[in-house]
Amino acid sequence: MLPGKTILVTGCSGLLGPWLCDALLDAGAKVIGIDKQFPVSSRINRLSERIELIEGNVRDERLIGNVLSQHNVSFVHHLAAQALVGVAAKDPVGTFRDNVEGTWTILEAARKRRDQDGLYCGVLVASSDKAYGEHTNLPYRENFPLQGRYPYDVSKSCADLIAQSYHHSYKLPVCIVRCGNLFGAGDLNLSRIVPGTIVSLLRGERPIIRSDGTPVRDYIYVHDAALALVAISSAMLQSEAIDGQSFNISNDEPVSVLEIVAMLQQLMGRVDLKPQIEGTAALEIHAQYLNSSKLRQAVGWRPRYTLKAGLSETIAWYRQYLDHSGSETTQAESGRRNGGVLVEGS
């Protein structure tokens, strides 16, 4: 159902955006990408001759409305967000503006396109496993209440609930996805466990683990996540059967921080570089991972990559990237400290 459709991807220059745009192009869609900026380091620049890129803020109501109408947009993949837990803790108001106001701006523009112009515009909102907050029952399922407590978690809980409200109140064709921790080529924020650990090991440095190493998460290869989004949007454009629903995206292989670091050490042949465990992490949930059986049953999606296979491809990309770049970007360097890479627990 995607050939010939014009699809807008917000936040297209982040980690997931370029992978999603690639997958949408492969499915025959015409793609427009919008973001605040397009860093030289972003993989989205590889697609600049195949998609239209628009610089702007998703909180700009006039801009979003004009983009939807002038480009005859049929569907929006709303990825744009302030996505870092640490940044949210330091700047909660900015995070709430980007993640909450940005979401309602997209949804309201889609509603007006339908109500005023009589044209279909579906929306798939990228929420997060953090929207659930903390639950003792594991793994998390889609019917669990959304009870974020910390700034980033709350921003995703709010955006998630607003998206649900637009479907239930206005019958807007909306779905929500809640992903585990994404990893893959193109992520230059070394505060994340992947790629932070990879870069440390490539440099012959001990990775620094900010937590005590025991937090448990699921890690989903970004290519698999992109294919899940394409499958959901295709299903929404075909029928109303899944409108209003939420879906977890996970490879259903939860591991602890220490386990994923050990896996990377083994894959890279650097078991000699033992991690430095700081145990200073705060405002984090100890165990949080998802069950993706609903998504698998609804649209037939299955992850193509095991955790090890995804990590292997990711390692190869960073090895080549560092060989060619010679040094990390400013964003990547911001995660470095004391001669090693600062690795988040989630």
- At 279-303, the pLDDT tens digits run 776 667 889 999 999 999 999 999 9
Write down the catalytic residue from 132, 150, 152, 321: 152
Higher-pLDDT residue of 6 and 2 is 6
Mean pLDDT (the chain) is: 92
Q: What's the sign of the alpha-carbon dihedral 179, 28, 109, 119?
A: negative
State yes or no: is 152 an active-site residue.
yes
DSSP 279: -
**What average pLDDT does range 32-44 have in this prediction?**
95
CA 44 vs. chain centroid, Å, equals 15
Residue 259 binned pLDDT confidence (cut-offs 50, 70, 90): very high
Contact 249, 180 (CB under 8 A): yes
Q: By C-alpha distance, which of 304, 321, 287, 282 is closest to 195?
A: 321
DSSP 237-274: HH-STTTT-EEEE--S--EEHHHHHHHHHHHHT-TTS-
Provide, rounded to the nearest whole percent, the portion of the chain with pLDDT above 90.
85
**What average pLDDT does range 117-141 have in this prediction?**
95
pLDDT at 266: 98
pLDDT at 334: 41
Q: Class assignment of domain 187-217+254-287+306-343?
A: alpha beta
pLDDT at 158: 98
pLDDT at 325: 73
**What average pLDDT does range 186-196 have in this prediction?**
90
Q: Which residues make up the CATH 3.40.50.720 domain(s) of the chain?
A: 6-182+219-249
- CATH architecture for residues 6-182+219-249: 3-Layer(aba) Sandwich (3.40)
Instruction: Give, for 34, the enclosing helix (H) or strand (E).
Output: strand 30-35
Buried b (16+ CB within 10 A) or exposed e, 120-159: ebbbbbbbbbbbbbbeeeebbbbebebebebbbbbbbbbb
pLDDT at 285: 80
pLDDT at 162: 98
Query: Please, where are the H alpha helices in the chain?
Result: 16-26, 61-70, 85-90, 92-96, 102-117, 151-170, 193-202, 222-238, 257-268, 293-299, 307-325, 330-333
Higher-pLDDT residue of 181 and 344 is 181
Q: What is the pTM of this model?
A: 0.92
| Number of neighbouring beta carbons within 10 Å of residue 86 | 18
pLDDT for 340 beyond 60: no
Q: Which residues make up the CATH 3.90.25.10 domain(s) of the chain?
A: 187-217+254-287+306-343
